[in-house]
Chains A and B, each alone.
Chain A
């Protein structure tokens, strides 16, 4: 039985976690994949950690939530502490290299723990606003759930209206996607 790829993506509200999930699932839909995406929602919706649970596969997905993710990505210190529970022996745990004070909170049992300088790269080479697209590139680099081509199509579909006003944004977003992809693709996790 073909298992779906289980992705848990977590960050502070405003970091664009749900947007990434929406675009990623859009890309997967374009490729005709089976997808199930659920955001966390609880009373702490405002001011809590934002988590997106995304599953992409060839067959209908079984359950909305999972115990252990194949890829778990945390973009803030609170996020690291919140989603560490979804890491298991087969999990690749990725976090932003700029997060401080989480050495003790990183999952000890994960297959691989990887720090990527996503925020720094976005700030220095691109623009802080495309940080989440860079993360999306990293997700794709780690899982290959969709092609970069389809990912770009999905970005165009979801954010195209912004690009109309400022065509430079398109290039920046695509570059961010590729940078994120490179960051992970070269590390041997995928």
Chain B
């Protein structure tokens, strides 16, 4: 089936959006459905340019509702299907994603966060955390990976397909406009060449055989008649979600033994937090960091363990507390003080984190 898009390891210097398109190709994605919205348009633009060469399909839909629902359709047909969106498009995307959540349909969506609410800026934010993790009218039975570099955008876009098809929950790669538009280097590779087996897809509809004769028909629905019926379905889904959580959670931490201040951040802001923490640690300060890579499911026990050894926490994010809310929820019962550096829609530099930490620690003396 066509030539392989990537042979061997290739060092590349490109934008994040381009990296996503290549990752989807490398993962064996077969069809993308999408609707234009800044700052993720280039994902579609690269995909449509690469698609004819590698026998891939694309449909530009009339809006994000349709992009989401056609992606659901593509997955139902048993294909590795994906879409991408941002901001107001992400708001619309919650409707189809609710359906995916309800029916355990393994969709993959890349979200390039931009300022919010409403149209706001087309540039950057970390303000779609709540939306991506808990959007729609469900319980947030989803997997959300928050990336902080182009290498991760590439790695986790591939991983998203595998996580989705293995565990059957809608899976998201959460990045942002900075990651989408900036250029930095990464290594492209074919996962199969690295021994990573891609989880096979499976058709929900159109399997071989006549329904009712050779096999049972697929009767897929998301509507129930009585409360208890719904409860039965949700209980099963919740149980599976909780059971798979330890297999899925990912996080990163540094210098968490006996810390004076533990910095907590995700996504691109984590990079600034990490640089700051390492710099301060080198200066001899007892500063560490904790980074959730999966925002859903959240590495709760791991954060609690790290927070237990810290005198104070500092949550840093480009939103007015969307990560903070999740952190507090997961730390319930612990009385470690939490300081914050909240800048909705604005980037945060390592220098700013250093200054903040020094101020906080300076106050204590």
Residues of chain A at the chain B interface (Cβ within 8 Å):
1, 25-26, 29, 34-39, 41-43, 60-68
Q: Which residues of A contact B145 (CB under 8 A)?
A: none
Indicate if the CB atoms of A42 and B271 lie closer than 8 Å: no
Q: Whole-angstrom distance between the alpha carbons of A42 and B184 in the complex?
A: 20
Indicate if the CB atoms of A65 and B122 lie closer than 8 Å: no
Q: Whole-angstrom distance between the alpha carbons of A64 and B349 in the complex?
A: 8
- Across chains A and B, the number of contacting residue pairs, with CB separation under 8 Å, is 69
Indicate if the CB atoms of A35 and B178 lie closer than 8 Å: no
Cross-chain pairs A/B with CB under 8 angstroms, 10 sampled: A1-B275, A25-B183, A35-B13, A35-B183, A37-B183, A38-B183, A39-B181, A63-B271, A65-B178, A67-B351
Q: A1-B282, A63-B271, A65-B349 are in contact. List 4 more A-B contacts (CB 8 A).
A: A41-B39, A41-B123, A63-B272, A67-B352
Indicate if the CB atoms of A35 and B185 lie closer than 8 Å: yes
Indicate if the CB atoms of B282 and A29 lie closer than 8 Å: no
* Interface assignment of B255: CB less than 8 Å from any CB of chain A: no
Indicate if the CB atoms of B183 and A62 lie closer than 8 Å: no
Indicate if the CB atoms of B185 and A34 lie closer than 8 Å: yes
Interface string of B164-180 (1 = CB under 8 A from A): 00000000000001110
Indicate if the CB atoms of A29 and B178 lie closer than 8 Å: no
* Interface assignment of B182: CB less than 8 Å from any CB of chain A: yes
Q: Whole-angstrom distance between the alpha carbons of A66 and B271 in the complex?
A: 13
Tell which of A25, A38, A60, A67 touches B349, judged by Cβ atoms closer than 8 Å. A67
Indicate if the CB atoms of B122 and A63 lie closer than 8 Å: no
* Interface assignment of B88: CB less than 8 Å from any CB of chain A: no
How would you classify the secondary structure of chain A's contact residues: helix, strand, loop or mixed?
A: loop
* B85-139 interface (Cβ within 8 A of A): 121-123
- Given contact pairs A1-B278, A62-B272, A63-B268, A41 touches B349 in the complex (Cβ within 8 A): no
* Interface assignment of B5: CB less than 8 Å from any CB of chain A: no
Closest chain-B Cβ to A187's Cβ sits at a distance in Å of 27
Q: Whole-angstrom distance between the alpha carbons of A25 and B13 in the complex?
A: 9
Q: Which residues of B contact A39 (CB under 8 A)?
A: 181
Closest A residue to B38 using CB positions: A41
Closest chain-B Cβ to A57's Cβ sits at a distance in Å of 11
Indicate if the CB atoms of A62 and B350 lie closer than 8 Å: yes
Closest A residue to B283 using CB positions: A1
Interface string of B341-354 (1 = CB under 8 A from A): 00000011111100
Closest chain-A Cβ to B317's Cβ sits at a distance in Å of 13
Indicate if the CB atoms of B350 and A63 lie closer than 8 Å: yes
* Interface assignment of B9: CB less than 8 Å from any CB of chain A: no
- Given contact pairs A62-B271, A64-B182, A29 touches B13 in the complex (Cβ within 8 A): yes
Q: Which residues of A contact B275 (CB under 8 A)?
A: 1, 62-63
Q: Which residues of B contact A41 (CB under 8 A)?
A: 38-39, 122-123, 177, 181
Closest A residue to B352 using CB positions: A67
Closest A residue to B351 using CB positions: A67
Tell which of A1, A29, A38 touches B185, judged by Cβ atoms closer than 8 Å. A29
Indicate if the CB atoms of A42 and B122 lie closer than 8 Å: yes
